Structure 1
Amino acid sequence: MALSLESLVIRHSHRLPVPQGSAGEGTAAARQFDAALMGVGFKLSAELLERLSLLSEAAVLHTARRTLRTVREMVGDHVRHNSYFIDFPANVPDTEEFWMRCVAQALGDEKSRENVLTQPAHGVLNLLSLPTYGTYQHTYEEMLAVQDELISSAGDRVTVLHLGRDLDDELTDLYLGLAGSTTPLGEEDLRDLKVLAGRCALGPQPEAIPVRENRAVVNQARLGAGAEPLLDTVTDVLRLACALSDGDVTLEEPTRFRALSRPVRRALLAGLDAVVAANSAKLADVHAHREPFKRLGERLHPHEYPRWPHAADVFAVARGEKEARTFDSRVESLLDAFDIAGAAKLLRSAPGKLFRNLDLLLRVAADQEERDTVVAAAVEAAPEVSGRVVLSVVEHFHNRERETDRPRVFVNRRGRAWACADHRPPVPAADRDRLTAALDAEMRRRLPAPGRVLVDPEVLDVALPLSGRATAAGLGVLPRGSVSEVDGELLRFFVYWKETEDRTDYDLSALLLHRDYSTDSWLSYTSLTAVGGRHSGDVTEAPDGASEFIDLTLDRVRSTFIVPQVNIYAGEGFEEAEESFFGFMLRDGEQKGRPFEPRTVRMKSELRGVGRVALPLVFRHEDDGRWRAKWLHLYLKGISSANRVEENQVSVSKLVRAVVEREQLTVRYLVDLMSDEGTAMDLWDGERVPNEPVLYIGLERPEGLHPDSRVITLENLRDLIPG
C-alpha cells in the first residue's frame, strides 16, 4: 500500500514525498536516477536532487525503482510499443501495394491459398483471412534493432519532480483537496479519493464537501470507520448505498445493491428518517430516482424498523403509494400558465435551478417587465449559487451573443457527445449583457485578494475545469475546450490497447478537414500514406497489447483541421479493455528515434468513454501559420462494429465545428477579474521567480518559488474555481 500511496502523490502533484532511508553518500546514485528520469521526460528538482544525495546509495536506488515505475506509467512507457511496419515511419508502402503483397504471400501459403482463391467469386476479400495481415510479423526486440536511437532535442518534454513533505502530510493535503473540490471529479480522481478517504476519514476534514459524489465516497469511509455519515438529502443516502455496493455514485449507471449488514441498514434508514423529518419536502427528490429507491428498499427492509416512519415514506413515494409533488412540476405548471414572474419567484427558493432555467425564462418572457423580474431574481440569488454554476451560466450566455447556424453540442457525464441544429430564439442582448455584467461582479467579489500573482502565459487559454469529467486522466491533459500551442515539426499520434478476453481491434485514424469543415482526406489503415503522412499499419488483435501510430509533417499539411480519432472496429469497448490510452508526440523534423519515445510525449490520456469512437482533440492551422490544439475528450456512439473514419466523417465534422466555434471560459477570464480589483499581476518569463510569496498559476510548478507561495497547476486547477 505504501508504494501505491506514494505513486498517488506523484501522479497528482508531481512531488515526491520526502525520501526515507539511512544517511550516506548517494550523490552518484542520485545523478544516475536523474539521468534515468530524463530518458522518460522527467527530472529531479535541484532541491530533491540535493536531498537524495544525503541518503545512502541503497536508499536512493530503492526510491528510484519505485518512482521510475510510476512516471513510466504516467507517460505510457510501461508497455512495449511495437509497430506493424518494422521500420516505421520509413518504408511505409502504398495501401493497395501492401494489400497485394499480403495476398501474394497468402497464395504462396498452402494452408491459406484455397480460402483466398474462393473469396473473389463473392466479390469481397477478407483481409483478416490473410496470414500476414493484422498481426505483428516481428518481435519487439527485432523492431528495436532496426530503429535509431532518439537524438535529443531542446524541444523534448521535461517534467520536473519536486521535493514534497512527509507522505502522511502529502496524503492529507491531497485528500482535503479532492474531497473539498468545488467541481465534480473525474473517474480516476474519484477512485483515488476512495483510497484516501479510507485512510483519512477520521483525520482533518475539508470545511465543506459540496460535490455529492465526493460526499458519497467520504461517507462510505466514515461509516466503515464508525463515524456518522454526512447526509442532508435522500439522494445522499442513495449514493452512499451505491458506494457500499461498489456501484456508480453519480447515479448514471444502475447499481446492483448487495445484501447489507444489519448495522449498515440501520445507519441508512436512520439517515433517511432524519433527512425527511427535518424537511418533508425532500421526499419529492425520490421521483428522480424511483427505480433505484425501490430496489434499495428491498435490501433495507424498512417495515422491520417502525421507529423510523419517515424512512418508510421514502419507499412509499418510490412505489407510488404516497404523493410528493415535485418542485419541478410546480415550476412547469406556472410556465404552462405563462406566469413567468411566478416561476421566477418560485425558482428563487432554489437558486441553482433558477440559474439553470435562466435562458428559458428570458426566451419565453412576454415583455420587458417580465425579463426585468427574471434578471432581478438572478442577481439577488447569485451569492447563493455555487461558483461552478455561475461560471457555467456566464459561459452559456457568452455563446448566445451571436446568431449563427452552428450546431448545438451536448455532452453527458461520460463524455458521449452529439450535435444538432440550434433552433432556440435569441436572448435579448440588453438583458443578456445586464446579467453577465452582474455575474462578473459576483465572481470578482468571490475571488481572493492574493497579493502578488505570477501567471505563466501558456495557462491563460486553458479552459476552466467546471467539471473533472471534462478532462481525461493522464499526463499533460487539458480540460475540454482548452487551446494550446503545438511547437514542433513532426506530429505523431499513438494508441495502445490490450484486450481482456475477446479479440479487440482499435483503429487509429486522422481526419483532415477544410476550413469549412468539409473532408479533405484521411489517414487510416485504408489510406496509409495520404498527405505525406504515414500510418504504422493495422493491428487487429491485442492479447499482449498493441500500438498504432500516425506521423504528420505539419508544414506539408494543407488542411485547416487535423482530427485524430480511435475507432473500435471489433471487440471490447474502451471501458472493457484491460488498458487503452491515446497520446501524441512532437519532434523536430530531423529528429529520429523509435516509434514511441517517452521524452517526446506531450500528452497521454486514458480512453475510458462509453462510445465506440474516441475524439481526444483537434488541431487547427491558424491564420498566423501556427498550429494549435483544442481539447475535446469526446466519444461518439458509433456502431457495434466496423467503425471507420470514412463512415463517421460527417458526424465528426459537425461535432468538431460545434466545439471549435464555442467560446470557453478560460483562466484568462479569472485572471482579468483579479486584475480589475487592483491585484499585482505579472506574467512569468520562464526564468526568474520572485523572492516573496506569490500566487503562481501555470501549467507546471517552476523551481525556486518562495515556500509560502500558493501554486495552481494542471494538477489542482480546480482550486481556482471559487466555491
Structure 2
Amino acid sequence: MVHALERLVVRHTHRLPLPEATASGDGRGHGDVAARRFDAALMSVGFKLSAGLLEELARLPEETVVAVSARTLDTVRELVGDHVRHNAYFVDFPAHVPDTLDFWMRCVVEALDDDTARPGVLERLRAGVLDLLTLPSYGTYRHTYEEMLAAHDELIAAAGDRITVLHVGGAADEEITALYLSLAGSTTPLGDDHRDDLALLAAHLVDGPQPETIPVREHRAVVNRARLDAGAGLLLDTVTDVLRLACALSDGDVGLYEPTRFRALSRPVRRALLAGLDAVVAEAPAKLGDVAAHREAWKRLGERLHPHEYPRWPHAAEVFAVARGERKAPSFDGRVEELLGGGDVVGAAELLTSAPGRLLRALDRLLCAADGPGELDAVLAAFERAVPQVSGRVLLSLREHVQNRTGAEGDRRVFVNRVGAAWVTPETRPPLPPEVRERLCAVLDAETRRRLPAPERLLVDPAVLDVALPLSGRATAAGLGVLPRGSVSPVEGELLRFFTYWKQTARCTDYDLSALVLDDDLATVTWLSYTALTDVEGVHSGDITEAPDGATEFIDLRLGAVRGRYVVPQVNLFSGEDFETVEESFFGFMLRETEQRGRPFEPRTVRMKSDLRGPGRVALPLVFERGEDGVWRARWLHLYLRGTPSANRVEENRVSVAVLLRGLLARTPLTVRHLTGLMTSEATTTTWWDGSTVPDGPVTYIGLDRLEGLPQGSRVLTPENLRDLIPA
C-alpha cells in the first residue's frame, strides 16, 4: 500500500520519497552505480534525477535503489504514455505515406487478389460503393511492433528534448501526509483522477494529521467515506453533506449532478448516516430548507435508510418528510426566486447577503434586473458587504466573469460544464455599464490582494504568466505537462507530432485522430485524417479500426508549412466504446527537429500527454495558434463536443469547431499574471527568473518546473500544485 501511495507522490509532485534504509559505515551504501543506471534509464523517457536526489540514492544499499528505480520507472513511463506499445499502420511513418486514393486503390487490388474477400468486394463495387472496412488489408496492423522498430533509426538527442527533473523528497510518511493535506485542503474542486487519489490517501491517513478545514464539499464526502469505514467521527454540518456521503458509499456522483443508484446499506452504516443527519437538523432546523434542492435523491435514499425503524432520531425523519412533501420547509432559493418574481431586487439582494457565495453567483442577474440607479447601488452595496465572506475561488471566478462582460456587439456566451462538454449561444443579456464593471473589479482585486501572501522575495518564471488559474480541477486532465483550460504556452520545434492511443474494453472500437487547419477567420484551409493522409502541412499515420491490444494513430505537421493560423487536433469516435468506457485512452503531442529521426513515439520528445475521459464523441484537447509575431502557441481546451452516435469525422464537425473556437478566443481567462501583480507590494522584491542565478535566501517561486537548489524554506508553486495559489 505504501509503495502505491509513493507512486502518487511522484506523479503529483515530481518528488521521490526517500526509502528508509541504512548506508554502510563509510557513509555510502554502494548504491552509486545503481543510482547512475537509474538516472540513465530515466533519461531515455525524458526524466532525470536531480543532483541532490542522485547523491541521496548513492548512500543507500544497491538493492534498495534497484527496487526504487523499478517502481519509479513504471510510474514515469505511464505519466508520459510509454507504458504501452505505439505501433503505426505504415511501418516507416512518417516516410512514404501514400496518397489517400492511391492507398485505397491498393487495398482494393489486394482484396480482389483475396479469394475469400473478392466476391463481396465485387458486389459492392458493382453497386458503386467502396466500404473500406470490408477490405482485409485496411484498418489493422500489417506488421509487428518489433518490425516497426527495426524500420526506424535511433533518436538523435537534441537540446530541445524534454527533461523533467525528479527531486529529492522526505520520508515516505511525510510526503504522503503532505500530499493528502494538500488535496483534502484544496480550495478548488479536484478532477476525478485527483479525487480518486484523495480517497486512497484518506483511507490510509484516517488516524493521521487532518487539514484544518476541507473547503470543498465533494472532498469532504470522500474523506467522510474513509472515516466511516474506519469507525471515525464524521465531518458534517449540512444535510447535503450526508447525501453526498451516501453517494460516495455507492460510488456515485458526490457532486450531485448525476443521479446515484444507492446500494443496500448495512445497519451500522444506516445508523451512522441517520445519527449524523439527526444531529445536523437538531442543531439548525432551518437546514431542512436544503432538502428540496435534491428532493428525488432524498426519496431514493430514504428507501435504503428506513428512517421509520429508528424513532430515536426524529429529526432525521423530518428530512424525508420534507422530501415527500409531508412537511413544509421553504428553501432559501425559493424565497429568493419569490422576491425576484415580484420585482423586489433589493429584497433579494439583502436576503442573499446571508449566503454570500450565492449572492456573488447571482450578481450578474441582480444587476441586470436592477431598475434605476437606486436599485443598482443597493445591489452593489450588498455585494461589497458580502465579498469578505466568500471563498477566494468564488472571488476569482466572478472577476474572470466580469472582465469578459464587455457587451460588445456579436458577443457569444460559452458554456463548459463540469465534465468538459461545451456549447455556444448568442449573448442576450444587457451589457454591464463600464463604471459598474470597474467598481466590481476594483472591489474584487482589493479583497484578493488582502488575502494573498506578500512574500519578501518573489521569483517568477515568465513562462508561467499566461497559465490560467486552476479555479477548478475539472478544467484540466490527468497527465504530464497539462495546463488548465485557457492557458497559453509557446511551442518550439520544427515538427509537431500528435498521437492518440486507445484500448477497447469489450467491443471493437475505432477512434480517428484528425487535425483541422483554419485561417484567420476560422474558415477551413485543409485537414489531415484517414480521408486525407497527406497534404502540404504533413502526413497521417493511417487508420486503425480496432484496438483489442491497443492502437495508436499519429499526425506529423511541419509548422513552417502550415498555411493557416490555427491547427485544431481532435479525436473522433467513429464506432464502438466512448471515451469513458474504453479501458484506456489518451492524447499527446511531441516536438522534434527534422534531423532527429527516431520511432513514431519517442517519450523524450513528448511535451504533453493527457487522458481522454469525457462525455462527448469528439475530443478537443487544445488548439495551436500562430501569433502575429510568427510564434506558435498552444491554447489549452480540454473540451468535448457531443458529436453524432457514430461515424464522427473532421469534415462534418468543422462548423461546430469553428463556432466554439470563435467564442473561446474572444474570452480572456484569469491567469497567474493577474495574481502575481496583486501579490507584489512595496515590501516585495520581484525577480524574473532568467535561468541562471538562484537567490541566496528563501523565496516564493512560481514557475512551470521546480528549480534545483532553491534555498531552504522556499515555497514552490508549479502547475502540479498551482491550486495552492488560490487564496482561501
* Fold equivalence (TM over 0.5): yes
Equivalences for 1:210-229 in 2 at 5 Å? Answer: 210-229=215-234
Q: What are the residue-to-residue correspondences of 1:692-707 with 2, within 5 Å?
A: 692-707=697-712
1:535 counterpart letter in structure 2:
H
CA offset digits 1:603-643 (Å, max 9, x no partner)? 00000111111000001010000001110000111111101
Report SS of the residue matched to 1:83: coil
Question: Which whole-Å CA distance do the structure 2 matches of 1:172 and 1:404 have between them?
Answer: 52
Structure 2 counterpart of 1:513: 518
Q: Report how far residue 15 of structure 1 moved.
A: 0.5
In structure 2, what residue type is equivalent to 1:508? Answer: L
Q: Deviations over 1:501-545 (max 9, x none)?
A: 000000000111111111111111001112331100000000000
2:85 is aligned to 80
- TM-score normalised to structure 1 length: 0.99
Contact 1:497 1:577 survives alignment (8 Å): yes
Distance 1:487 1:388 in 2: 33
1:470 to 472, 475, 479: 475
1:120 aligns with 2:125: yes
Q: Given that residues 407 and 654 in structure 1 are in contact (C-alpha distance below 8 angstroms), is that contact kept between their aligned partners in structure 2?
A: no
Is structure 2 residue 308 aligned with structure 1 residue 308? no
For 2:397, the aligned partner's letter is: S
Give 1:438's match in structure 2, choosing from 438, 443, 455.
Answer: 443
Residue 235 of structure 1 is matched in structure 2 by 240
Task: Tell me if the contact between 2:19 and 2:172 (Cα under 8 Å) persists in the aligned partners.
Answer: no
- Residue 424 of structure 2 aligns to which amino acid in structure 1? A
User: Given that residues 352 and 385 in structure 1 are in contact (C-alpha distance below 8 angstroms), is that contact kept between their aligned partners in structure 2?
Assistant: yes
Are the counterparts in 1 of residues 487 and 636 from structure 2 also a CA contact under 8 Å? yes
Match of 2:395 in 1: 390
Rounded Cα–Cα distance in structure 2 between residues aligned with 1:76 and 1:616? 16
Deviates more, 1:600-609 or 1:252-261: 252-261
Distance in 1, matches of 2:174 and 2:452, equals 27
CA distance in 2, matches of 1:56, 1:370: 73
Give the letter aligned to residue 434 of structure 2.
Answer: A
1:607 to 605, 612, 626: 612
1:12 aligned onto 2:12? yes
- The equivalent residue for 2:104 is 99
1:403 and 2:408 aligned? yes
Secondary structure, in 3 states, of the residue corresponding to 1:165?
strand
Please tell me whether the aligned partners of residues 454 and 681 of structure 2 are also in contact (alpha carbons under 8 angstroms): no
1-side partners of 2:375 and 2:128: how far apart? Answer: 67
The CA deviation at 1:120 is: 2.2
Unaligned 5+ segments in structure 2 are 24-28
* Matches of 1:22 and 1:112, distance apart in 2: 67
1:274 matches 2:279: yes
Give the secondary-structure state (helix, strand or coil) at the position aligned to 1:80: coil
Secondary structure of the corresponding residue to residue 110 of structure 1? coil
Shift of 1:70: 0.6
Corresponding residue to 1:522 among 527, 545, 550? 527
Q: Which residue of 2 aligns with 1:61?
A: 66
Q: Indicate conservation of the 8 Å contact 1:44/1:160, yes or no.
A: yes
Bigger mean CA deviation after superposition, 479-488 or 648-657:
648-657
Distance in 1 between the 2:281 and 2:161 partners? Answer: 59
Q: Verify: 1:489 aligned to 2:494, yes or no.
A: yes
Q: Aligned partners of 1:376 and 1:550: how far apart in 2?
A: 55
Distance, in Å, in 2 between the alignment partners of 1:662 and 1:124 is: 45
Partner of residue 133, structure 1: 138
- Aligned partner of 2:553 in structure 1 is 548
Asked whether 1:712 is paired with 2:711, we answer no
Question: Shift of residue 151 of structure 1?
Answer: 0.6
What corresponds to 2:26 in structure 1?
none
- Aligned-pair CA distance for 1:704: 0.2
Taking the aligned partners of 1:476 and 1:257, their CA distance within structure 2 comes to 37
Work out which of the residue numbers 342, 348, 356 in structure 1 matches 2:347.
Answer: 342
What is the match of residue 361 of structure 2? 356
Deviations 1:664-683 (A, max 9, x none): 00001000001245421111
Listed one character per residue, the Cα deviations across residues 537-596 of structure 1 (whole Å, up to 9, x for unaligned) are 000000000000001000100211101000000000111000000000011132211100
In 2, Cα distance between equivalents of 1:123 and 1:394: 59
Per the normalisation by structure 2, the TM-score is 0.98
Shift of 1:400: 0.8
- Structure 2 Cα separation of the partners of residues 572 and 286 of structure 1: 37
1:120-149 CA-to-partner distances (Å, cap 9, x unmatched) read 233321101000000000000000000111
Instruction: For residue 404 of structure 1, give the secondary structure of its aligned residue in structure 2.
Output: coil
1:2 aligns with 2:2: yes
Counterpart residue number, 2:656: 651
Q: Could you report, residue by residue, the CA deviation over 1:444-498 in whole angstroms, capped at 9, with x for unpaired residues?
A: 0000122211111111100000000001000000000000000111100000000
Which secondary structure state, in structure 2, belongs to the residue aligned with residue 631 of structure 1?
A: strand
Unaligned runs of 5+ in 1: none
Aligned CA RMSD, in angstroms, stands at: 1.1
Q: Secondary structure at the match of 2:596?
A: coil
Q: Distance in 1 between matches of 2:297 and 2:12?
A: 34
Corresponding position of 1:428: 433
Cα distance in structure 2, aligned partners of 1:644 and 1:565: 10
Alpha-carbon distance, 1:22 to partner: 5.0
Contact 2:404 2:668 in 1 (8 A): yes
Q: Secondary structure of the equivalent of 2:686? A: strand
2:419 aligned with 1:417: no
- The equivalent residue for 1:661 is 666
> 2:456 touches 2:683 (CA, 8 Å); kept in 1?
no
Q: Is the 8 A contact 1:586 1:600 kept in 2?
A: yes
CA contact (8 A) 1:406 1:657 kept: no
The more displaced of 515-524 and 68-77 is 515-524
Runs of 4+ in 1 over 6 A off after TM superposition: none
What is the match of residue 452 of structure 1? 457
The answer on whether the counterparts of 1:20 and 1:59 sit within 8 Å (CA) in structure 2 is no
1:283 aligned residue: 288
Distance in 1, matches of 2:382 and 2:307, equals: 41
Worse-matched range after superposition: 450-459 or 186-195:
450-459
Contact 1:135 / 1:539 at 8 angstroms: preserved in 2? yes
Give the superposition deviation at 1:33. 1.0
| Residues 1:191 and 2:224 are matched in the alignment | no
Deviation at 1:211, TM superposition (A): 0.2
Report percent identity of matched pairs: 68
Taking the aligned partners of 2:20 and 2:125, their CA distance within structure 1 comes to 68
Residue 390 of structure 1 and its aligned partner are, at CA, apart by 0.6
1:720 offset after TM fit, Å? 0.1
Q: Which residue among 128, 150, 156 is the counterpart of 1:151? A: 156
Give distance in 2, aligned partners of 1:77 and 1:404.
Answer: 48
Which range is displaced more, 90-99 or 401-410? 401-410
In the alignment, structure 1 residue 34 sits paired with structure 2 residue 36: no
CA contact (8 A) 2:291 2:323 kept: yes
CA shift for structure 1 position 63: 1.4
Matches within 5 A, 1:571-590: 571-590=576-595
Deviation string, structure 1 residues 57-106 (Cα, Å, up to 9, x no partner): 22222211111111000000000000001000000111111100000000
What corresponds to 2:176 in structure 1? 171
Separation in 2 of the partners of 1:659 and 1:277? 47
SS at match of 1:419: strand
CA contact (8 A) 1:38 1:599 kept: yes
